[in-house]
Structure 1
Amino acid sequence: MPQRRSHVAPSAAQSELATALATLRTELDAPTGFPPEALAEAAAASPATPDLDLRDIAFATLDPAGSMDLDQAFQLERSGSGYTVRYAIADVPSFVAPGGALDAAARLRGETLYAADGTIPLHPPILSEDHASLLPDQDRPALVWTFALDAEGSVSDTRLERALIRSRAKLDYVSVQADLDAGRDSPAALLPEIGRLRLAQEAQRGGASLNLPDDEVMRHDDGTYAIERRTPLPVEDWNAQLSLMTGMAAAQLMLQARIGILRTMPQPEDAAFETFRHQTEALGVPWTTGRYGDYLRTLDKEDPRTLPILEAASALFRGAGYVAFDGTVPAETTQAAIAAPYAHATAPLRRLVDRWSLTVALAVSRGEEVPAWVRQSLPLLPDLMRASAQRASALSSRTIDLVEAALLAPRVGETFDAVVIRRNGERGTVQIEEPPVTASVALPPEAVAGTAVRVTLTAADVAKGQISFAVA
């Protein structure tokens, strides 16, 4: 599934698109600025005194190129037959006063929104892209997890401490992947080794990864937009395992103390599994034995049938939510795709709930009482995060609709190569090969998932973000 990019040429469609994107922010009631009181608090925020000075540790960050809101930094080393993994998380809890104007603004937002025409941050940029961000060559407060891993990648010991750190390098995925592939030295040199071991641990637990290609809207310096379809690089999967390991450790501390907030997802029902089996049989790559996670790991990314299979599998990854608890462990604690209890605890600059998770985890690790403000506000978090997730999802899907329409507006009447990725009755969803656009279309009876078709663009309305195709 190679990466593809398509551009919007300067035209009337470009002007229409800019207007439609601005209108979308208003429709979704997306915040555009911070109250003066919140900005003043952010500028004056003074972090807590760290327990340790770890500035001699050579931490590095790894994010998409251009990122400034750097939540995590890592340091990896061998230790006997195993490994030591240090994972530093931006100490946002020490910058945000509970009950203040900054806290209120963050609760209203819930998470950072990545709009095509600019980011809508969870915290003011003076924090998210400066004082609290783990930028290179800057002293920064952090919550540092230290994991001892055995030769199989299993965690044998964990500790969490508040520390002062200094990142040495700001890495990006593409460059690091190139360095690793070429055998060049890198702060991430051990990441493939540790990441593969952790992926093996995930497989043993019965976990599953979907790894669908992402459609990302890009805005270029000249004001044009593009849709980029890309499959995550291997280094992204390995790096994600560090975050997952940390989230599982945070969940264990919460369960130990019987207070916290977990990210859960139910196990798919038998009917969903049966439907997926039939879909894989129809596509000619049947899932016959073993766990569905193991089956997904065997798929060939270059096989054109893989994308329809992954689209079908997405029905197995539904129902994720948050469960807050205090005093009693909830009946359901597992995130089914991870196959373990899990908490969001590694992105506090960009996601509200992580500040609570980290605060609870630090208190438990220190043997201290969980702060009263956490207990009082925990019940509010699931609804706050649900609302922000709905807004983020609507922003993402509608933005892609608008940019797709602008991409295609000058091409009404043209015919494109496509593949059917799912069918529902007389209609189905097709993936255009170039530009990377997904569309609904009426299908002939013989066009099942995985079938190659040619479709003609019959209409494109930029203002509404609507496109129409007919099978040629």
Structure 2
Amino acid sequence: MTQRTVTLRATDPGARDVVEAAGLAERFEAIRAEQEVPREFPAEVIAEAERVAAEPLVLPERDEIGVPFVTIDPPGSMDLDQALHIERAEKGYRVRYAIAHLVSFVEPGGAIDTEARKRGQTIYAPDRRIPLHPPVLSEGRASLLPDQLTPAYVWDLHLADDGDCYDIDLYPAMVKSVARLDYQQVQDAIDDGSADEVLMLLKEVGELRVRLEQERGGATLPMPEQEVDDLGDGRYRLHLRPMLPVEEWNAQISLMTGMAAAQLMLHARVGLLRTLPEASAKTLAQLRRIAHALGVDWAAEQTHGEFLRSLDRANPTHLALIHEATALFRGAGYTAFDGELPELVEHSGLAAAYAHVTAPLRRLVDRFGLALCAAICADEPVPTWVREALPQLPEIMAASDRVSGAVARASTDAVEAATLADRVGETFDAFVVDAPEGNGSVTVQLLDPPVIARATGSPELGREVTVRLDAVDLAKGTVSLAVT
């Protein structure tokens, strides 16, 4: 499950690893062409989007505009899928999680729906994002922007004192977010004590949910996030970004909601789950052997989830193990069912059944899962358009996942090459994060700049090495490194 995160984020333009390369814009366009990423929306899609933005197909009758929802996203985000409100309750906590209500704007079988099925999800690249839905909806009328009266699905989740969710409801309602916050803002407010009760409860509930995940045997891969930031004017910066604690707390609210959705689907025996098979005994044994060879203690009674949480991503030896542990997370997919329950219903990384239902503006499958769960909670028949789409959605999402991953990897490779373009012949400190046997090359992580690439040579996994940059191909986005 190794991922390279590509985001659009403002950052310090004076950093050493900022690159200005006239060819990067062309390379990004070429990458999108290679992956057949759609360009502009067809005229009929834009026309339909403008029409429904002005006159929605349907609006919820329920009014929840008095609930002071807030959104928490990366800075500058406009496609706001989720808004939350948390309060104390008699038995613990009440979490209300508002999710964009695309049923108000997307007609099944219409132009927007047809185009969204072709796209599958929003595709992110350093210079731009290619949205799933026209921006007039995804960044406007359907987005949970502050002070805008917006239709939403509201998950109403009641939690016990330990954070366990014991009651689930979902209903459409009109909502109004009162603030658009970013992660750093929220983290700073929590750290300096100026945060309001909702944000302090996000920390409290988030930590409880992390603890429950650990108790279930869930496993999270602590892979550093390699990011490409768009600084404007054709400049980009490559860096490794540590995850803020609030990002995990916020993610736990989304994960809890996805697990609640999966419970509803399994109870009704119809739905679409996000699944991940258990790692095989052979794969776990191999990782234990690698840990032993690297001198990293892994107690016999310690689960792989506990072991991974104990690793320090700043430690070169531990980082090598983290890269090797990606083998534990292979095989994620979508599993549709209607009637008979599938053999695999759990996501092993969460140690629970889970469904995608919190990002409908950016991911196709969520729109269907939300409509399905809302029907279950209202004791109504599942809409025909949802049932008919279920068998098709896994392949649509698998295809769009492949495109998204390919664009992210190739775009990062292009920025890595541009970052190193004028340093051919120089040597760099690095450490080996992957060392396949017998092929005469390894994967190394450069310390500065934070480039991850193949290098010729056969040093041992986890070893600190010096590599020489022999060549850079900007057109292909590749670099040639050799261990010295």
Question: Per the alignment, in what secondary structure is the counterpart of residue 305 of structure 1?
Answer: helix
Mapped partners of 1:433, 1:255: distance in 2: 46
Aligned to 1:111: 121
Which runs of structure 2 are paired with 1:364-403 in the superposition (5 Å)? 364-403=376-415
Aligned to 1:188: 199
TM normalised by structure 1 equals: 0.96
Aligned to 1:313: 325
Of the three residues 327, 338, 344, the one matched with 1:332 is 344
299-308 vs 69-78, which moves further: 299-308
Given that 1:173 and 1:235 are in contact with CA atoms closer than 8 Å, whether structure 2 keeps it comes out as: yes
Aligned to 2:233: 222
Given that 1:51 and 1:161 are in contact with CA atoms closer than 8 Å, whether structure 2 keeps it comes out as: no
Aligned to 1:256: 267
Mapped partners of 2:454, 2:17: distance in 1: 22
Question: Per the alignment, in what secondary structure is the counterpart of residue 412 of structure 2?
Answer: helix
Of the three residues 72, 76, 84, the one matched with 2:82 is 72
Which runs of structure 2 are paired with 1:124-203 in the superposition (5 Å)? 124-186=134-196, 187-203=198-214
Q: Does 1:430 align with 2:444?
A: yes
Aligned to 2:4: none
Deviations 1:224-254 (A, max 9, x none): 1111211221111111000000001111111
Mapped partners of 1:235, 1:47: distance in 2: 36
What is the one-letter code of the residue matched to 1:428? V
Given that 1:117 and 1:219 are in contact with CA atoms closer than 8 Å, whether structure 2 keeps it comes out as: yes
Mapped partners of 2:83, 2:341: distance in 1: 31
Of the three residues 72, 75, 85, the one matched with 1:62 is 72
Aligned to 2:29: 22
Of the three residues 221, 232, 243, the one matched with 2:243 is 232
Mapped partners of 1:29, 1:73: distance in 2: 33
Consecutive aligned runs of 4 or more in structure 1 exceeding 4 Å deviation: 3-6
Given that 1:212 and 1:231 are in contact with CA atoms closer than 8 Å, whether structure 2 keeps it comes out as: no
What is the one-letter code of the residue matched to 1:21? F
Deviations 1:306-333 (A, max 9, x none): 2112111111011000011111111111
Mapped partners of 2:150, 2:143: distance in 1: 8
Percentage identity across paired residues of the two chains = 49
Mapped partners of 2:58, 2:267: distance in 1: 25
Mapped partners of 1:423, 1:78: distance in 2: 50
Question: Per the alignment, in what secondary structure is the counterpart of residue 133 of structure 2?
Answer: coil
388-397 vs 277-286, which moves further: 277-286
What is the one-letter code of the residue matched to 2:209? R
Aligned to 2:62: 52
* Shift of residue 345, structure 1, vs aligned partner: 0.3
Root-mean-square deviation (CA, aligned residues, Å) is 1.5
Aligned to 1:121: 131
Of the three residues 85, 99, 112, the one matched with 2:109 is 99
* Shift of residue 438, structure 1, vs aligned partner: 0.5
What is the one-letter code of the residue matched to 1:242? I
Question: Per the alignment, in what secondary structure is the counterpart of residue 421 of structure 2?
Answer: helix
Aligned to 1:347: 359
218-227 vs 262-271, which moves further: 218-227
* Shift of residue 301, structure 1, vs aligned partner: 4.1
Aligned to 2:253: 242
Deviations 1:429-453 (A, max 9, x none): 1100111101111234xx3222111
* Shift of residue 170, structure 1, vs aligned partner: 0.6
Given that 2:222 and 2:309 are in contact with CA atoms closer than 8 Å, whether structure 1 keeps it comes out as: no
Mapped partners of 2:124, 2:28: distance in 1: 12
Residues paired across the two proteins, number: 465
* Shift of residue 9, structure 1, vs aligned partner: 3.8
Of the three residues 261, 264, 286, the one matched with 1:275 is 286
Deviations 1:129-166 (A, max 9, x none): 00000001111111001111111111111111101111
Question: Per the alignment, in what secondary structure is the counterpart of residue 155 of structure 2?
Answer: strand
* Shift of residue 41, structure 1, vs aligned partner: 1.3
Question: Per the alignment, in what secondary structure is the counterpart of residue 190 of structure 1?
Answer: helix
Mapped partners of 2:102, 2:34: distance in 1: 30
What is the one-letter code of the residue matched to 1:399? S
80-89 vs 98-107, which moves further: 80-89
Deviations 1:26-82 (A, max 9, x none): 111111111111111111110522142111111000011111100000001111351
